[in-house]
Amino acid sequence: MNLRFVLTAFCVVCLTTSFAQPCGFNPKASASPSPYCHGRPFSLFGTATGTGLSYSWTGPNTFSASTQNTSVTFPFLVNSTGYYKVTVSKPGCTSESDSVYILIHGTPALPTAYAKSGVCLGDTLKLYYTYPFAVVMYCTWWGPNGHTGHGTAPIYNDLNIPNATLADTGMYFLTIQDANPSLRICYSDTVSIHIDTSYIYPTHPPLPVVNLTVTPSINVALWGSVLFRANTTNAGNAPKFQWLKNGVAITGKTDSTYMATTGIDFVDGDTISCRIIRGPVCIDTAYSSLIVYHVGTGIQPIAKENELSIYPNPNNGNFTIKGSFVKGQKVQIETINTLGQVVSAKEMVVSSENAVTVKNEDLPTGVYYLIIQDNTTSYHARFVIEN
């Protein structure tokens, strides 16, 4: 018996698959500068061990980048807070990643720095700031000549520069932070103000001058009313007034006008003057010349052309003035109280021959002094309001 064997050859194909292996990149993610503030750019840095590596970043608010180092140009307070992850990869190696947590803090809004007015050499210059929101903030000032200041507004919102000199001119800077020390993390942007000779005057201004005018005159009948008015030049924005009788300060008389009654406030032969103090800066003092008063014992005569009558008197604030007026002419009318304060001033047109009607409905009960001025003449009279 013949046996025949048939051998069939099988070809076995072996498929070889390559698997990625850990390569020990040891990636690290970091960021700077801190603290991280709303609107302030910050940078992200990725480091790893090895060559030929690829880097990619992902983060909050769909942030992504494909470079080793990158930046967030305008981080938002809420949307940009979170983890920023760097992933390192290389062909044949397992990708590895690391993250850094970024907390975005609030940044104060921009303040405005200013100086209210200029000062003379030796005065105190004050710098102020305003903030766009009604909240208390912490401010920091610095500038030339070693001037610095800091504190919580509104108590310490100004920088005082005492005994100012021209060496104090230059650029002053300001930043603000949250008033709460635990939240005092981010600064506002820095603002500045340039202090030059328009703020610190290199020369002293001319001395102040005060001259007095008197209505009706320096010769007054007994129990008559007299209005003194101090007219100033070179007196600054806020001069201080003090009226004096016989060289002694009159208590409470510190306005630019002073209403007095003969026989009560002064007698025959008394002198009246006024002292002014220029301010609030470039402070100087000036005195008016003395006015010597002559008080008569009878009724003061009034020239016919200056005759003035008021009816009814007393009245409720509405009355008619009769005098040497011409119909259609304009007259200036001032109503003054017993404190010497002008409580009403108006221009009126004479509506009928020799008469003009005045309405002062809002004035309280009291004694008032009336001055009427036309192109050539000053008229005056007293009246009483009884409401």
CA trace torsion 260, 223, 385, 345 (10° rounding): -40
Confidence of residue 300 (pLDDT cuts 50, 70, 90): very low
| Residue, of 343 and 275, whose pLDDT is higher | 275
112-201: CATH class: mainly beta
pLDDT of residue 215: 85
pLDDT of residue 175: 94
Confidence of residue 199 (pLDDT cuts 50, 70, 90): very high
Evaluate whether 197 touches 166 at the Cβ level (below 8 Å): yes
pLDDT in tens, 98-116: 999 999 999 999 999 999 8
pLDDT of residue 8: 45
| Domain ranges across the chain | 28-105, 112-201, 211-295, 304-385
Evaluate whether 218 touches 291 at the Cβ level (below 8 Å): yes
Average pLDDT of the chain is: 84
For the ranges 247-251, 306-310, 321-325, 340-344, the lowest mean pLDDT is seen at: 306-310
The type of residue at 13 is: V
Confidence of residue 252 (pLDDT cuts 50, 70, 90): very high
**Strand pairing partners for 36?**
104
Dist CA 321 CA 65 (whole Å): 88
Confidence of residue 339 (pLDDT cuts 50, 70, 90): low
DSSP-assigned letters across all residues of 12-27: PPPPP----B------
Evaluate whether 209 touches 234 at the Cβ level (below 8 Å): yes
| Residue, of 153 and 73, whose pLDDT is higher | 73
Confidence of residue 384 (pLDDT cuts 50, 70, 90): confident
pLDDT at 156 over 80: no
304-385: CATH class: mainly beta
One fold for both 211-295 and 304-385?
Answer: yes
| Burial of 316: CB neighbours in 10 Å, binned 0-12, 13-18, 19+ | middle
DSSP-assigned letters across all residues of 39-79: T--EEEEEE-SSSS-EEEEEETTTEEE-SSEEEESS--TTT
pLDDT of residue 173: 96
194: its two tokens: 């340039």
44: its two tokens: 């992200």
28-105: CATH class: mainly beta
Residue 156's alpha-carbon distances to 94, 152, 342, in angstroms, are 59, 5, 38
Q: What percentage of residues in the chain have a pLDDT greater than 70?
A: 87
pLDDT of residue 306: 45
Which H or E run includes 289?
none
CATH architecture type of domain 211-295 = Sandwich (2.60)
